[in-house]
Amino acid sequence: MMAPTGKLKTKKLNKASTPDGTSAIDTEALAALQSGDLQRAEQLYRDILAARPRDLLALNNAALVAKQLGQPQLALTRLTKAVRYHPGMAQAHFNLGNTLAETSRLDEAIAAYRHAIELKPDYVKAHLNLGIAFDKQHRFADAAAAYHRALVFGGDHAETHSNLGNCYKAQNRFREALTHFICAATLEPHRAEFIYDVGMARFEIRDYPEAAAALERVLEIDASHAGAASLLLYIHQIACNWPAVARL
């Protein structure tokens, strides 16, 4: 979507400061963004950037406004300026990477995340989002490496273990997948999908009793989980456990 047509009048900035030292117009712009008054926020950030075109916070917030207004190209323009003016700021590269990924420009997003990581090697969210971008390209080995680094720097996180498990699953490395699915389910024991992944991985390595136990746990949490019910039925059929089939 193109930026709004027609010239926007640029008002003289209100340079009065609030008690914390923030200018009044910055405070007003942020309040408009947070309250969802996007047209007002857009006008205010245009005024701020006309006076302070290199302001990193204003560029980032203005990009967020543009995205929420359905103008991803304008958001990219602003974030590209943030990177150009502040090349040493990891978050600027990270924010650019996120918007590039959202617009399916994955190669560019990967490059942006890598820049962020070069500047801040322990940037957990950048490692995680780099993994997600690789995932979308079916580059599962690269994705797995990125998720591993996210775990190294960020500690155990259920979603990251789940993502890593799915990388190994996509490569038919089910035992490695199982290890991470178990971690995810241990960290969040009431997430049916995590427990289902455990059951599926155990099924793939033919550990049918433990697979069935995991799937039964899924159905205790979510009785409508069709995948768990179907796989559990199949396991009982394999075992010729027809009384159990009859109870389903």
Percent of the chain with pLDDT over 90: 85
User: Mean pLDDT over residues 109-124, rounded?
Assistant: 98
Answering whether pTM is above 0.75, one says yes
pLDDT greater than 60 at residue 4: no
Which among 12, 100, 81, 76 is positioned nearest to 48, based on CA atoms? 12
Phi, psi of 17 (to 5 degrees): -105, 150
Q: Is 23 helix (H, G, I), strand (E, B) or coil?
A: strand
| 165-216 pLDDT tens trace | 999 999 999 999 999 999 999 999 999 999 999 999 999 999 999 999 999 9
Separation between Cα atoms, residue 196 and residue 230, nearest integer Å: 12
Q: Give the tokens for residue 81.
A: 């300026």
The residue behind tokens 């396991």 is 235
Phi, psi of 158 (to 5 degrees): -60, -45
pLDDT greater than 90 at residue 35: yes
Q: For the CA atoms of 47, 51, 57, 60, what is the dihedral angle to 10 degrees?
A: 60
| 56-104 pLDDT tens trace | 999 999 999 999 999 999 999 999 999 999 999 999 999 999 999 999 9
Separation between Cα atoms, residue 150 and residue 185, nearest integer Å: 18
| 36-54 pLDDT tens trace | 999 999 999 999 999 999 9
* Per-residue pLDDT band at 16 (split at 50, 70, 90): very low
Which among 168, 167, 157, 164 is positioned nearest to 191, based on CA atoms? 157
To 10 degrees, what angle do helices 192-204 and 174-187 make? Answer: 160
Separation between Cα atoms, residue 94 and residue 112, nearest integer Å: 6
Per the prediction, the chain carries an average pLDDT of 90
- How many CB atoms within 10 Å of residue 111? 16
